[in-house]
Amino acid sequence: MTSLNYELRRRIAEAATQMCEQSLTTGLNAGDISVFDRDAGLIYALPRPCAQLPIRSWRDIRPEDVAVITPDGKVVQDSYQTPTVEIPMHLRLYEARPDTNAIVHSHGEWSQVFAAAGKDIPTATIDTYTHCGFAPIRCGKFGMVGSEELAVAMVEAVGVSAKAALMECHGAVALGYDLENSMLVARVIERAARQALFAYLIGGPQQLGLDHVISDRDLATRITSGDARLHTEDLQRMA
């Protein structure tokens, strides 16, 4: 029997209810959340609602409803629940991005405007630019729900360092170093989308670059090439 982390399941269930309260979902069971406990080698994910688990809204989820799987997608013996239909995307992103330990897939209204148009969201303020990984929020190519095609498109959209991306005609993904960080990025994506839409009314948003936040050109070059990483926390230490 595997020892499952009840506290982590409780926090994921709590975050799922917050998705409803923070307008990161339509209020039902759209979108999902996962957390990768890399020490234990287990991924905790919101379940796939079904006849045996008729969750109509993430407000109704219980900690024991959170599915637990191995990194190759197998449900662990004492989990009982099947993970979200988008689990191939989560697995691919964890594989591609070792800096990521939590993922929120949201269906927020403002980001869906850009996803519907198939357009990137400019990150035009210091806080949206830094929280989203020092990059615009790219819109990944369309893929069917739950498909490997969609998973590959999202790995390509986030690249080596972005923390946010759009799923064309669908929603968004937010990558975090922990659950709270991924929820924060998901909220910032909505903020960036809303700000950009209003900025288009008065001449269009700008896109910030690394030269707006750091003065060290060598470091900026290494970050751009993927040889160095810059985190929001690093900026706070430099300030």
Binding region for Zn ion (CB under 5 A) out of 65-73, 166-174, 214-222, 227-235: 166-174
Closest to Zn ion by CB, 35 vs 103, is 103
Query: Counting contacts by CB under 5 A, is residue 171 touching Zn ion?
Result: yes
For residue 204, the one-letter residue type is: G
CB burial readout 119-156, b (16+ within 10 A) else e: bbbbbbbeebbbbbbbbbbbbbeebeeeeeebbbbbbe
Q: Which residues contact 16 (CB under 8 A, 6 or more apart)?
A: 33, 46, 58, 59, 61
Q: How far is the CB of 167 from Zn ion (least distance, A)?
A: 7
Instruction: Report the run of H or E that residue 138 belongs to, with start and end.
Output: strand 138-140
CB of 186 to Zn ion, least distance (A): 12
Residue matched to tokens 């979902």: 25
83: contact with Zn ion by CB under 5 A? no
State the minimum distance, in angstroms, from the CB of residue 101 to Zn ion. 21
**Choice between 143 and 205, CB closer to Zn ion:** 143
> What stretch of H or E contains 187?
helix 179-201
Stretch that binds Zn ion, among 129-137, 163-171, 173-181, 205-213 (CB under 5 A): 163-171
Report the nearest approach of Zn ion to the CB of residue 237 (Å).
Answer: 36
| Contact status, residue 103 vs residue 34, Cβ threshold 8 Å | yes
In the complex with Zn ion, the residue whose CB is nearer, 35 or 172, is 172
**Residue 100 beta carbon to Zn ion: minimum distance, rounded to whole angstroms:** 18
205 in contact with Zn ion (CB under 5 A):
no
* # binding residues, Zn ion (CB under 5 A): 1
Of all residues in the shown chain, the one whose CB is closest to Zn ion is 171
- Give least dist CB 42 to Zn ion, A: 23
Closest among 188, 148, 153 to 169, alpha carbons compared: 153
Instruction: Assess contact for 102 and 34: CB atoms under 8 A.
Output: yes
The span of 65-73, 167-175, 190-198, 218-226 binding Zn ion (CB under 5 A) equals: 167-175
Pairing assessment for the beta strands 171-176 and 42-45 based on DSSP bridges:
unpaired
Nearer to Zn ion (CB atom), residue 49 or residue 171: 171
Torsion sign over Cα 165, 162, 189, 89:
positive
Q: Which is nearer to Zn ion, 108 or 171 (CB)?
A: 171
Instruction: Considering the complex, state which of residue 148 and residue 227 has its C-beta at the smaller distance from Zn ion.
Output: 148
Instruction: Spell out the residues 6+ positions from residue 27 whose beta carbon is closer than 8 angstroms to its own.
Output: 20, 57
Residues lying near Zn ion in the complex (CB under 5 A) are found at 171
